[in-house]
Amino acid sequence: MKTRLANSLMAGRHILPFLVLGLGFAANSTESKGPATGPAQPEWRLSAPVSYENLSLFPILARNTENTTAYVTLDEAIAAGQAVVAERGAETLRRSRGEATGSLQMQVQSGAEVNRLVLVYRGAKPLVLLAGEVVTGGKQDRVIAKDRIVSPGAAPLPLDVFCVERGRWAGPSAQFTAAKLMVHPSVREKAAVNQDQQEVWAAVRSGSTRAQAYPIEMAQDRRGASSEAVGNIVGGVPGGVLGGVVGGVISGEARSESYAKIYQSRQVSGAVESFAEEISRRFARAVAGLEGAQVVGVVVAYGGEIAWADAFASAALFDRYWTKLLRSYVVEALARPATQERPSQEDAREFLKPLEGHETVESEPGVYRWRQVSQARHSEIRLEALGPKALTLHWCKVTRTGK
């Protein structure tokens, strides 16, 4: 794997016219107790794993799925000009000069914050935001911190984010564009579960935080190793095929440590795309013959470890996220050590079981409920739509790294 992929490594529309003069933020209720009532756990089953190199994907199947055509994704809303994401303090929208119906531009007046942006939405359908989605621009690139739903006609609202470009705090525009990227699981975990900015930055640079969970014991056994070598093992240098490459990209074309520039760079993207094309081809072939069931998500394993799962209310909604989710899983695979170990289907089936630990709930009445449950080394997050029909729109589960 390492030799073949190492060779690869070398090798909008106008927005609806509106004016924002102030920020009337909608308040969400937050509680840290449970359990809370909500939609029942969907009835899922697993298909045989699809494997390539150190990555295995178990298709999650459902016989009866929900109608999710009433929802729009962040990428879709920004592309259609229905949503504007901007720095906090960008309280004025004005037309571009010389355009009678030009797109509206936000101007930063004051008060920009690293972990808070502003979202203005004027679409006709509920907008879905998923933790891990990247927006680029503004003073620095950010990643969405939490799953949530934004209702049509909502007031401009504060958007919790984490920075994924630590070396920049300036830019020609206050606005952001959709990068059409989902950060890979190590970064997504630190944002969505740990909610720690320092850990997010470390994960962007290190590639896989799981690779850092083993080396402390390894380093103790390397009595003859230099302090520099041991530091490289423990200190967050990517392993696997990306070992050494990310640092080179940062010192060259991605000096601001922009997630998008690092993982879409020529040095990294070649390996990512070739890996993604192969696993995508195998996945499509494996699920093509399924009858009486639809693919609504995947359980993800690296080597013998079940690491992550994403599942959606419908196959159609899963398909809308699939391309960027798949590439995020691949980046993680390339950052982890190469291994031919394979998990069992029983392990993956066990991973789908709901957790029963401490539960934290946030909600906006009539719109959505966000629930996070943590138990031992695992956390799961559930995004529930509360109207017009109660349903679990997105569910994810993670084996936390470094625990």
At 212, the pLDDT band (50, 70, 90 cuts) reads low
Lowest model confidence (mean pLDDT) among 238-242, 318-322, 334-338, 344-348: 238-242
How far CA 369 is from CA of 11, 28, 144, 160, 366, in Å, comes to 46, 10, 17, 16, 9
pLDDT in tens, 256-295: 999 999 999 999 999 999 999 999 999 999 999 888 899 9
Tell me the helix, strand and coil percentages in the chain, rounded to 5: 30, 30, 40
Please, what's the b/e burial string for 116-134 (b: 16 or more CB within 10 A of its CB; e: otherwise)?
bbbbbbbbebbbbbbbbbb
In the predicted model, what is the mean pLDDT of residues 195-201? 95
pLDDT higher than threshold 90 for residue 222:
no
Residue 216 φ then ψ, to 5°: -60, -45
- In the structure encoding, which two tokens stand for residue 137, read together? 């621009």
| Cross-strand partners of 380 | 373, 397
Coil, helix or strand at residue 317: helix
pLDDT in tens, 43-62: 899 999 999 999 999 999 99
Nearest to 400 by CA among 227, 130, 213: 213
- Rounded CA gap, 142 and 87, in Å? 10
At 171, the pLDDT band (50, 70, 90 cuts) reads confident
Q: What angle do CA 160, 163, 165 make, to 5 degrees?
A: 160
At 399, the pLDDT band (50, 70, 90 cuts) reads very high
**pLDDT at site 318:** 98
- Rounded CA gap, 50 and 59, in Å? 8
Domain-by-domain residue ranges, the chain? 2-399
pLDDT in tens, 70-123: 999 999 999 999 999 999 876 444 434 333 334 444 444 456 899 999 999 999
- Rounded CA gap, 219 and 4, in Å? 28
**pLDDT at site 25:** 38
**pLDDT at site 228:** 34
**pLDDT at site 289:** 80
- In the structure encoding, which two tokens stand for residue 123, read together? 């679409």
Element (H, E) at 135: strand 133-137
| Residue bearing tokens 């079981």 | 353
**pLDDT at site 306:** 97
Nearest to 135 by CA among 99, 171, 102: 171
Contact yes or no for 388/373 (Cβ under 8 A)? no
**pLDDT at site 40:** 55
Considering the entire predicted model, what is its pTM?
0.83
